[in-house]
Structure 1
Amino acid sequence: MAVNSTLIQDYIAKQSKEVCAFIYDLDFLSSHMQTLVAQLPTQVDSYYAIKANSDEAVLAALLPHVYGFEVASMGEIAKVRAVSRDVPIAFGGPGKTISELQTALDLNVELFHLESELQLARLNHLAAERGMRVKCLLRVNPHFDLPTATLQMAGQATQFGIDEMELMALLPRLSDYPHLEVIGFHFHCLSNNLDAYKHAALVRHYVQTAQQWATQFKLNLTTINVGGGIGVTYQPHEQEFDFARYCELLAQLCRDYPHLRLATECGRYISAECGVYLCEVTDIKQNHGQYFAVLRGGSHHFRLPSSWQHNHPFVVIARDIWPYSFARPAAVKVAVTLCGELCTPKDVLAKQVTVASLRADDIVMFQKAGAYGWHISHHDFLSHPHPERVYIKDQTLLISEDNHVTR
């Protein structure tokens, strides 16, 4: 297990109330990021997509090891600038407003991923007012086929990017935007691809396509952002992404295109393994012949399982002390649905999974919860208490003073 299990046990042993917490192992996160960057070719700039986990402590742990951070809002820009005044920021997202673009320029955003002609016009207007030129990439929604993945943001009708047909009409007119320096293209087309060979082939196709456009339209192409999209295995039958082989294939691609820089913007693959979500079992009951374990927590803290409709991986941490005279509900060697405390039947984190033993007051620890857990969830629905936020740094537990803000 990636997260320090000894310190998790120490944390649980010290709790005097129902356990509900995210624990993020910053020691593991730093080591993991160093290992990833060491394998990437030197032509590849590694951004961290902070939408996966934007806690200040997480950003600070990654800061020494990444090229920069990829953001998608004014709030995310502010979070990055809270840990560094000058680390490179790439600003993406389909809904950039005038206010957001203005703030991005104020806060020294290095690179803009523009997703429509209106975004080009807005940014060109603001740059003209400041008498400056701004670097940008054009995000593409291509028409070519893509590998199968959990989420697909392009290659079909979505709100993301500039349609390839519209792009062909736009590229001859880039001189209409003299305060923009278009240095390349942005392809972030899918999410959670587990096949390293197919992913490398897709990246090569991105590069070949971008180079063809650069030649056709006489563009000064220097940078291609190939997105994130590298997957994490949440199910036992899934094959882990072969990152080492992927980097070998990227290295060959870089040798074939030595004049280009590539950029990646992984989020999930960087931070998922560093976090766990702990929930105490508050009750176990039967309904219509099925067992249900009700947790002190749920999708308002950890929305990923219900969003993706999967059974999230977990382990049971047994607690043998039961200080009450009344019976302790239990499920032994049966299938159990792990559900949260919300008043909706959709609040399910794992459905009909067999457990050796699960009792009231035991702890369910959901693994790979460091990405797209707390940060995509509807925290205040029903106004339940927020989970505690705990960090492991230098082999020490650090507990946030305020559950709303990382300290």
Structure 2
Amino acid sequence: MALTIEHKKRLERVIKRLDSSFFFYDLDHLKSRLTYMDSVKDPDVKLWYACKANPLSSILKIFRNLNFGIDVASQGELNQVLQAGVEPEDILSTGPSKARNYLRSMINNEVNVVVLESLNQAYWLSEIAGELGARPKVLLRVQLDWDEGSSVLGGDAITPFGLDQKEWLKLDFEKTKNLDFQGFHVFQWGNILDLSRLETIWDKISKEMVELAKTMKIPLNILDLGGGLGICYEKGDSPLDFKDVSVTLTKIKEKHGLKKVWMELGRYAVGTCGHYLTQVIDRKTVRGKEILVTDGGINHIARPALVDQDFPCEMFRDSDAEKSSFQVHGPLCTAIDKLGTFQLPNDINEGDWLVFSQTGAYGFTEAMPFFLCHNLPAEVVLYNGDLMTPRPIKTSTDWLV
């Protein structure tokens, strides 16, 4: 989503008022995007929002109001989602680390479905369910072998997510009598823009899970295919239209006789609604390279350092000047605090602002905010035409002890 002239006029006021880095989320854009997705999806496909992408309460409430489910992966996310008014029947719990107290909390809070990632989790949850007189619905997370490369979710690497088929076949059903098995969860690939590749992945998953369900003699009422739908970070990338995604999911569902297909959308759902704005503090030339040093860096937006892929960037101010290559670095005392190399106008200088797009997902909550005690960024939202700041700038005096 590009900033409009009206966006810029209103954000100029925010810049003057805050005078420090901030995130901006257009929730009207998000609402429109989600409404479209819901209108074109197959009735047997349920959409969940993986709130690890962005757990801001203002964003959660949009998904809640549009009847999307919410996927949580920690006690903190569960608390945030419940506080945002999401009903327990609309909550799915994923994530590899589930201690006994967390499993108990999910039953006490009546979480709809729990994704189990180990034999221990299955036995612990059944034991706790027996104590509490509950019968939680569960999916078993399966980690498949792949002949492709790595991914942020593992790809062909061995990860802590779930178990392979051979290990799940060791499950002792005598120790899981209090569990209501609903199917499987498989998710090992992220940020894919090639629909044919997604179809190949989903086809392999579906085929192997149908066989595993037969072998284990458990129902396959639900197959959770995770997410993996990408957004455009590079020039020339072509965005995925969810109408085409829906057609592919229906094709997969019918080919393998699946009852219900679930998708957990994070980046794809919310990424395009966000921007990150930060001020240029200094400009200099180092060994022939043009360098910009900014107010915020990976302390606010760490993804470039984590996955070596930059967010798209441009100067906030309009300029007709020719463009040159600039390396953009944040304020931290480490060379990894680099936000990327970009073509920017030659007249850019101290005091100008940069705007990074596609930052609605994996922005601030994926960062390293406390290093060097810089300001924490504000979060500004546009909703129903109103501009609001649910979280103002926080200085180190707000959290240091």
- TM-score normalised by structure 1 residue count: 0.90
Superposed CA deviations along residues 114-139 of structure 1, whole A, max 9, x for unmatched, are 00001111101110101221110000
Q: State the AA in 1 paired with 2:71.
A: E
CA contact (8 A) 2:375 2:393 kept: no
Determine which of 370, 374, 382 is the counterpart of 1:392: 382
CA contact (8 A) 1:306 1:346 kept: yes
Q: Are residue 373 (structure 1) and residue 363 (structure 2) matched?
A: yes
* In 1, Cα distance between equivalents of 2:363 and 2:356: 10
CA contact (8 A) 1:141 1:155 kept: no
Check 1:403–1:138 CA distance in 2 against 1; reply closer, same or farther (3 A cut).
farther
Q: Are residue 42 (structure 1) and residue 79 (structure 2) matched?
A: no
Shift of 1:150: 4.3
Check 1:210–1:363 CA distance in 2 against 1; reply closer, same or farther (3 A cut).
same
Aligned to 2:285: 286
Check 1:181–1:350 CA distance in 2 against 1; reply closer, same or farther (3 A cut).
same
Q: State the AA in 2 paired with 1:72.
A: A
CA contact (8 A) 2:153 2:189 kept: yes
- Aligned pairs (5 A) from 1:320-339: 333-339=323-329
> Partner of 1:75: helix, strand, or coil?
helix
Please tell me the root mean square deviation across aligned C-alpha atoms, in Å. Answer: 2.2
Superposed CA deviations along residues 329-375 of structure 1, whole A, max 9, x for unmatched, are xx963321111111111111112645444221111000001000101
Determine which of 103, 111, 114 is the counterpart of 1:112: 114
* In 2, Cα distance between equivalents of 1:150 and 1:213: 24
Percent of aligned pairs with the same residue?
27
- TM-score normalised by structure 2 residue count: 0.92
> Partner of 1:400: helix, strand, or coil?
strand
Instruction: Between 347-356 and 297-306, report the one with greater CA deviation.
Output: 347-356
Shift of 1:156: 2.9
CA contact (8 A) 1:22 1:275 kept: yes
* In 2, Cα distance between equivalents of 1:266 and 1:401: 24
* In 1, Cα distance between equivalents of 2:129 and 2:3: 45
Aligned to 1:53: 54
Aligned to 2:177: 178
CA contact (8 A) 1:7 1:397 kept: no
CA contact (8 A) 2:18 2:393 kept: no
Superposed CA deviations along residues 125-177 of structure 1, whole A, max 9, x for unmatched, are 1101012211100000112435x57424254311111122212333xx33431
* In 1, Cα distance between equivalents of 2:391 and 2:23: 14
Shift of 1:86: 3.6
* In 2, Cα distance between equivalents of 1:92 and 1:136: 10
Instruction: Between 74-83 and 4-13, report the one with greater CA deviation.
Output: 4-13
Q: Are residue 246 (structure 1) and residue 245 (structure 2) matched?
A: yes
Shift of 1:205: 2.2
Gaps of 5+ in 1: 321-330
* In 2, Cα distance between equivalents of 1:140 and 1:259: 17
Check 1:44–1:3 CA distance in 2 against 1; reply closer, same or farther (3 A cut).
farther
* In 1, Cα distance between equivalents of 2:314 and 2:292: 14
* In 2, Cα distance between equivalents of 1:169 and 1:370: 41
Gaps of 5+ in 2: none
Check 1:16–1:185 CA distance in 2 against 1; reply closer, same or farther (3 A cut).
closer
Shift of 1:242: 4.2
